[in-house]
Homo-oligomer: A and B are copies of this chain.
Amino acid sequence: MAKPRRRRKKASDSVKATPPPPYVTRTAPVYDILSDEQAGIIEEAAEDILEKIGVEVRHGPSLKLLAEAGCKVEGELVKFERGFCRKLVMDNAPSEFVQHARDPQKSIRIGGDAMVLVPVYGPPFVAATDIDRRYGTLEDFNNFVRLAHMSPELHHTGGPICEPTDIAVPKRHLDMNYGHLALSDKCFMGAVTAKERAEDTMRMCEIVFGKKFVDENCVVTALINLNSPLVLDETMLDAAHVYAAAGQATVITPFMIAGASSPTTVAGLCSQSLAETLVGMAITQLVRPGAPVMFGFMMLGMSMRSGSPIRYDETWKSMLISGQLARRLGVPYRCGGSSTISKLPDAQSGWEGAMYVTYAMLSGVNFLIHATGTLEAGLVADFDKFLIDCDMLGAASRMMSGVDTSPDALAFDAIAEVGPAGNFLSCAHTMARYKTVFYQPSNADGDSFEQWAAAGGLDAAERATLRRHDMLAKYEAPKLDPKIDAALKAFMDERRAVLPDSFA
């Protein structure tokens, strides 16, 4: 009697799946909406603002550095010689840099032709098909980190994906940092809401990465929002000083609300934003020449019906312009996002977010915050939209890969083989490619109406809720050295003992 045949090992069994790329590499061209001459006009307008109007810097240590560098300081108002900030940035700030992740395979390049996708940042509320809109908790925050960790479309777990409002404000950053560092091994963003919170973030990074490594490498990014128009406030500059001094990356982002904190016209808004960004970036280079810094851009339009923030053509144009300005300055560029003013992950949220993300990508963005999950112009982190957006980003990211016009891609032999009235389904050229040539969405439904109806007739949001439960059930925390884990927890306990329990 013949021995039972052993199952032959398939080639694929022994080959470990290739890890998803830690970021997108762009080979498609960017979309420059301005002529070079127009870009120059906006740059000169920014220099006019810096020279003639000036910027308020509400931060003693920064004023001291600026005065020492020769700027004209009158109280808190600082005026700049034409080209001063620009030269400081161009001479010192790196055009690209690496942010190291806990898993070195997930370290990212920021700048040049690299594009890093980062979740929504800062909403107080959460929602989903099975969660009525309510304030976010630490458990929500941790679940968002788990989903970001598991989503190959995201290259970063970001910062406060939602605010954990059940934790006291002065202690919140400890739990968020711990969530990012323990529940994922992707890159993350640090606390900026107070000087000591930025310092705590650095200590926790040192526990995980080692002090020497942190001294010599970038392991965290920090979002420094400015107080537009033309104000840089103390809290944010405190945080910027901590991170820049430690050689960590800052993202200098004016807060432009067209018609409130800036003019309504795109050219004016972009020149003011450039002026403010230049000052913020220049300060980081005075703190530590060569500290990595990003040119951040964020803006809202305003619904004249309700006063609510909106983002249509004026936002998309401004984002494209600012990307062009960042490239001319030679620094990495940050903009957003899949933003929408919609209250639900409905068709409106889909089209608003998709146009915003498409123009963000075409702007040459290097660091795309709010890539997933945002509703209500940033007030809500929606679990369903988070996963719907990941799916959208997968398709959108493939667009950045440009076009192959090699003889193999031209497929002349296949066209000749199939001939007039033939079918390409079974030809070798198709068979060799069909598994990878088309994007395979995770959430978008590609079934026939009959198949879809038989499967329950669910919409994108309902499918995302099912998928979230499935993902969270399968989640496995990446390995963390128990000694490091214990050290992180000991540090947090030590800090919690001295920090107040305030919720204001």
Contact = CB atoms under 8 A, between A and B. Distances in A.
Interface of A: 28-29, 31-34, 38, 41-42, 45, 48-49, 52-56, 77, 133, 227, 229-231, 258-268, 271-272, 301-306, 308, 310, 312-314, 316-317, 321, 341-355, 358-359, 362, 376, 379, 384-385, 388, 392, 395-396, 398-399, 401-406, 408-412, 414-416, 418-425, 429-430, 433-435, 437-441, 443-449, 451-453, 457, 459-461
A317 B350 CA distance: 21
Given A32-B29, A347-B349, A347-B385, A447 B306 contact: yes
Contacts of A396: 313, 355
Given A265-B411, A266-B403, 9 more contacts: A49-B412, A229-B418, A261-B424, A312-B395, A313-B398, A346-B350, A348-B444, A355-B395, A376-B449
Nearest to A461: B347
A472 B96 CA distance: 56
A348 B443 contact: yes
Contacts of A446: 303, 305-306, 308, 310, 341
A383 to B, nearest CB: 13
Given A303-B438, A439-B313, A409 B268 contact: yes
B312 A439 contact: yes
The main secondary structure of chain A at its interface with chain B is: mixed
16 contacts: A54-B420, A77-B420, A261-B424, A264-B437, A265-B437, A301-B438, A303-B438, A303-B447, A314-B438, A316-B399, A341-B444, A342-B444, A343-B449, A347-B461, A350-B351, A354-B355
A34 B353 CA distance: 26
Contacts of A352: 350, 354, 444
Nearest to A305: B446
Contacts of A420: 53-56, 77, 229-231
A421 B229 contact: yes
B263 A424 contact: yes
A492 to B, nearest CB: 34
A306 to B, nearest CB: 5
A487 B43 CA distance: 64
Contact of A264 (B423, B434, B453): B434
Contacts of A438: 258-259, 264, 301-304, 310, 312, 314
B349 A267 contact: no
Contacts of A345: 347
A420 B48 CA distance: 14
A297 B263 CA distance: 41
Nearest to A433: B264
A267 B448 CA distance: 28
B354 A350 contact: yes
Contacts of A433: 264-265
A180 to B, nearest CB: 27
A174 to B, nearest CB: 30
Given A304-B440, A421-B230, A346 B268 contact: no
Nearest to A39: B405
